[in-house]
Chains A and B, each alone.
Chain A
């Protein structure tokens, strides 16, 4: 419990509707007890949310016609099957009709209906405020071939606080590839939660591209894998004024496998914090965490990874790697990989390294006629793009590769 309440904490208190449900009030009390996390909380040391969030924008309401118009304008056309949220609310009117796709069930949820996950104040805050998310279920044994895209858009044109809360559930043996596009714009505050539950022997390829995140944004992913389930998840972050993306993963059944990867392409004053706690709760599970940061201008990259192996999780195989590429003397990278191992028959490791572009490689490319700025882009792309290779879905890989290439195309010359 923090001492004095911050102004933002008091504002949250005023924003919670009087008719909020008992459980919402309970979660809010839990949030209040912990307070907004900041420097003094070890797991939030590098992302001082308490200092950063000074003013809480009004809570977004369910989208009206005007909001749908704003979102529709940004959405554009796509060949992918899409599920759209506006300011955190599921928007069936803008989403595709999934009724013809076998094995997929989509439903709206009111107040937070699914719980669990980590003890985290921002997850509690989300549970207190969230309304109107979706539940996406892939049925037992279903193999969904086309990539399903979740698009998170803004409807409000002024600063808002958004609390999206959604659940993706794969039944036993199901397979799917899901792309999440988070594009809610720079304005406001975001505190979203995504729950992913993978049944036995199911496999999910999940790619999230976060661009133009809110002025201050926290994204929490709660992931549970049953026996032999496989999750291959990649995050591509860019243009993040202040983003904390945190993963709480439980490998809950024997032989489950997690590939958690990501690339953050940061410039200006961007701050991106990727934090993950991977709990090996069953024997013989595999986890790989691989994250790359490209840091220009005054950007700040944070990596915190923790692999926890309790005594019964023998034959655990966990490896964590984080690499930073500094393009500017003013950019910074903080990395804190941790292992907590209580079992004796495991193979676990971690590594972290921060480098600069290799001057000799640059020169070599330039002597072949590739201009300096292009040579830099080629090397940056090579540094970051290999994290996409963990995805089995070629469709998802192609989307991310193209996005990275577009991002680098917009890049200003490194000084």
Chain B
């Protein structure tokens, strides 16, 4: 369970999150929808631990533990995962080396033994097959020369391997065609249950057709302004965000 309370965050001196409060229960899929500039991506970066974001007030607790003082790697080892809107290309670092470093670093942090190479390869191959990721892609440096869709599938592959307890999907649908969107959504849905929870950040209802949420929150001007069931997303699709932007401005 993740609990965010009264979070105030500034980036380069400008306040982006303004008293945001949000709770995602174990096993829950929560969607956050909101207009451009409402602070959705900032929220995902702050939860993941980006250093150049200044937390002015508030708390973020993962399973009861305050994570604000923890490094991004420590947060990851606690079970946090961020699907980047724009995954980074890392020339010179082989994908398999990267995956193994990530997996073993997390295992080490949790006091578990390193995964034997054969077992590791087996897990990667199995996960890759489900996501239509070719052996050739695995041989390339991390995300280098990948299309938008390939990059997102690689994010979901990492998620499948690392089995996080809490994942943030930051506009996973951006840059994806409908087939790639389906493949990625299936990858996410396969991980649902078993107490895992997800925060799905998106502009559009469309993604939620493939990853049906339990709750929907509307974000505007750095805070949650309305919460409801899946029907809220459908209403937003019909009416747009104008009412929330104006409401917040008043």
B71, A368: Cβ atoms under 8 Å? Answer: no
Can you list, as one digit per residue, whether each of B170-199 has a CB less than 8 Å from chain A (1) or not (0)?
000000000000000000000000000000
Answer yes or no: B244 CB below 8 A from chain A CBs.
no
Closest to A366 in B: B72
Answer yes or no: A374 CB below 8 A from chain B CBs.
yes
Query: A321 to chain B: closest CB distance in Å?
Result: 15
Chain B contacts for A386, CB-based, 8 A: 92
Answer yes or no: A62 CB below 8 A from chain B CBs.
no
Answer yes or no: A13 CB below 8 A from chain B CBs.
no
Chain B contacts for A374, CB-based, 8 A: 101, 105
B98, A366: Cβ atoms under 8 Å? Answer: no
A368, B84: Cβ atoms under 8 Å? Answer: no
Partner of A369, one of B76, B87, B92, B97: B76
Q: Which residues of chain B in 59-100 are interfacial with respect to chain A, using CB atoms and an 8 Å cutoff? A: 71-73, 75-77, 80-82, 84, 87-88, 90-93, 97-98
Q: Which residues of chain B in 198-244 are interfacial with respect to chain A, using CB atoms and an 8 Å cutoff? A: none
Q: Which residues of chain B in 121-179 are interfacial with respect to chain A, using CB atoms and an 8 Å cutoff? A: 141, 158, 162
A365, B77: Cβ atoms under 8 Å? Answer: no
Chain A contacts for B81, CB-based, 8 A: 367
Chain B contacts for A378, CB-based, 8 A: 93, 97-98, 101
B87, A366: Cβ atoms under 8 Å? Answer: no
The answer to whether A365 and B98 touch (CB under 8 A), given A370-B73, A382-B91, is yes
B88, A364: Cβ atoms under 8 Å? Answer: yes
Q: Which residues of chain A in 94-142 are interfacial with respect to chain B, using CB atoms and an 8 Å cutoff? A: none
Answer yes or no: B48 CB below 8 A from chain A CBs.
yes
Chain B contacts for A364, CB-based, 8 A: 84, 87-88, 90
Task: Give Cα distance in the complex from A307 to B105, angstroms.
Answer: 45
Query: B84 to chain A: closest CB distance in Å?
Result: 7
Chain B contacts for A366, CB-based, 8 A: 49, 71-73, 76
B71, A379: Cβ atoms under 8 Å? Answer: no
Can you list, as one digit per residue, whether each of A378-415 has a CB less than 8 Å from chain B (1) or not (0)?
11011101100000000000000000000000000000
Answer yes or no: A21 CB below 8 A from chain B CBs.
no
The answer to whether A369 and B106 touch (CB under 8 A), given A378-B93, A382-B93, is yes
B109, A369: Cβ atoms under 8 Å? Answer: yes
Task: Give Cα distance in the complex from A359 to B90, angstroms.
Answer: 12
Task: Give Cα distance in the complex from A382 to B75, angstroms.
Answer: 25
Task: Give Cα distance in the complex from A200 to B97, angstroms.
Answer: 41
B90, A382: Cβ atoms under 8 Å? Answer: yes
Partner of B101, one of A361, A370, A372: A370
A370, B50: Cβ atoms under 8 Å? Answer: no
The answer to whether A367 and B48 touch (CB under 8 A), given A378-B93, A382-B92, A386-B92, is yes
Answer yes or no: B102 CB below 8 A from chain A CBs.
yes
A368, B93: Cβ atoms under 8 Å? Answer: no
A383, B92: Cβ atoms under 8 Å? Answer: yes
A370, B91: Cβ atoms under 8 Å? Answer: no
B105, A367: Cβ atoms under 8 Å? Answer: no
B76, A368: Cβ atoms under 8 Å? Answer: yes
Chain A contacts for B97, CB-based, 8 A: 378
Answer yes or no: A17 CB below 8 A from chain B CBs.
no
Interface of A is mostly: helix
B98, A367: Cβ atoms under 8 Å? Answer: no
Closest to B84 in A: A364
Interface residue tally on B, bucketed by range:
20 to 34
We find that the number of chain A residues with CB closer than 8 angstroms to chain B is 22
Chain A contacts for B76, CB-based, 8 A: 366-369
Query: B201 to chain A: closest CB distance in Å?
Result: 15
B105, A370: Cβ atoms under 8 Å? Answer: yes
Query: B154 to chain A: closest CB distance in Å?
Result: 11
Among B72, B81, B101, B109, which residue has the most Cβ atoms of chain A within 10 A? B72
Answer yes or no: A342 CB below 8 A from chain B CBs.
no
B90, A361: Cβ atoms under 8 Å? Answer: yes
Closest to A378 in B: B93
A369, B73: Cβ atoms under 8 Å? Answer: yes
Among A368, A369, A374, which residue has the most Cβ atoms of chain B within 10 A? A369
Task: Give Cα distance in the complex from A299 to B120, angstroms.
Answer: 39
Task: Give Cα distance in the complex from A370 to B98, angstroms.
Answer: 9
Closest to A364 in B: B88
Task: Give Cα distance in the complex from A375 to B76, angstroms.
Answer: 14
B50, A368: Cβ atoms under 8 Å? Answer: no
Among B49, B51, B73, B88, which residue has the most Cβ atoms of chain A within 10 A? B73
Chain B contacts for A381, CB-based, 8 A: 92-93
A369, B162: Cβ atoms under 8 Å? Answer: yes
Answer yes or no: A349 CB below 8 A from chain B CBs.
no
The answer to whether A369 and B105 touch (CB under 8 A), given A363-B50, A378-B93, A378-B98, is yes
Closest to B97 in A: A378
Query: A378 to chain B: closest CB distance in Å?
Result: 6
Answer yes or no: A78 CB below 8 A from chain B CBs.
no
Chain B contacts for A158, CB-based, 8 A: none
Query: A144 to chain B: closest CB distance in Å?
Result: 31
B92, A367: Cβ atoms under 8 Å? Answer: no
Chain B contacts for A382, CB-based, 8 A: 90-93, 141
The answer to whether A368 and B162 touch (CB under 8 A), given A374-B101, A374-B105, A378-B101, is yes
User: What are some 30 contacts across the A-B interface (CB < 8 A)?
Assistant: A359-B52, A363-B48, A363-B72, A364-B84, A364-B87, A364-B90, A365-B90, A365-B98, A365-B101, A367-B49, A367-B73, A367-B75, A368-B105, A368-B106, A368-B162, A369-B76, A370-B73, A370-B101, A370-B105, A371-B71, A371-B105, A372-B71, A374-B105, A375-B73, A379-B90, A381-B92, A382-B90, A382-B91, A382-B93, A382-B141
Q: Give the 5 A-B CB pairs with smallest separation, nearest first.
A: A382-B92, A369-B76, A368-B102, A366-B72, A369-B106
A residues with CB within 8 A of B: 359-361, 363-372, 374-375, 378-379, 381-383, 385-386
New A-B contacts (20) at CB < 8 Å, excluding given A366-B72, A368-B158, A369-B105: A359-B52, A363-B72, A364-B84, A364-B90, A365-B90, A367-B76, A368-B76, A368-B105, A369-B77, A369-B109, A369-B162, A370-B73, A371-B105, A372-B71, A378-B93, A379-B90, A381-B93, A382-B92, A382-B141, A385-B92
